Amino acid sequence: MKRYTHIGGNQDTQNFGGYSASECVHEHFILKIPDGIPLDKAGPILCAGITLYDPLVHWGATTGKKMTIGIVGIGGLGTMGIKLAKALGHKVYAISTSASKAAMAKEKGADEFVVSTDPESMKQHANTCDLILNTVSANHQMAHYLGLLRTDGTLVQLGLVTNDHAVNQMALLPTRKSISASMIGGIKCTQDLLELCAKAQILPDVHMIEAKEIDWAWEQLGTVNKDGLRYVIDIKKSLENKEFMPPVE
């Protein structure tokens, strides 16, 4: 592990990133977790939450202007996007390849459910979204969702896709549609998100696991994540399992 020797503190103590018992960093990089957020929910807010919140901020969803926002992919990222967009006062479309997640998406706050593999469903909601946040990381063609955008609408890519996308400019030209992308967010935006989540009680749906269950959790995330869960490792409980985590000599 890399030692961060440029920062004061115990120079004999290694820094193990997110799995460390303590950190020594400059105060600029410190986030305050509000009292209203349980620690098991805080981690996913700093991951899935900021990934969805930062593009909402950048594309004007926090200015008070009412928008119609589509969320593609109703998993751990998508469900958080639904909750945030709804809490900000917008009309929210949950967009998925299967109708099996319709009830769950509406429970999280979605106003409409669009089945992207159903031509009639896509036609019914065509030209209605101001902003679409695409969380899908599996190989697909993002151009499929451009028809849902209205004039000047933007499709934002959040899921990491390894294959190339094919886009015909004729899908963009007539109504000035845009394609962009986003990653996470800075310290200020993340702190603003934490304050919003505490005030409005926007919390991710989590499932606590021990370290011994990491492979199992990975397998769950490799499927459709039908419950939209984020898996959180209970480090304290994991360390108490001496068979799985023997003491370091």
Q: How confident is the model over 166-209, as pLDDT tens digits?
A: 999 999 999 999 999 999 999 999 999 999 999 999 999 999 99
Residue 228 scores a pLDDT above 90: no
Second CATH level (architecture) for the domain 61-184: 3-Layer(aba) Sandwich (3.40)
Residue 73 confidence class, pLDDT cut points 50, 70, 90:
very high
Residue 107 confidence class, pLDDT cut points 50, 70, 90:
very high
Give, for 181, the enclosing helix (H) or strand (E).
strand 178-181
Q: Mean pLDDT throughout 126-142?
A: 95
Domain ranges of the chain: 1-30, 61-184, 205-249
- Of residues 136 and 246, which shows the higher confidence score? 136
Q: Please report the DSSP string for 71-104 in residue order.
A: EE--SHHHHHHHHHHHHTT-EEEEEES-GGGHHH
Convert 84-111 to b/e letters by CB count within 10 Å (16 or more is b). Answer: bbbbbebbbbbbbbeeebbebbeebbbb
User: What's the pTM value of the predicted model, to 2 decimals?
Assistant: 0.86
The average confidence (pLDDT) of the chain is: 89
> Looking at residue 150, what is its pLDDT?
97
Distance CA 177, CA 219 (A): 37
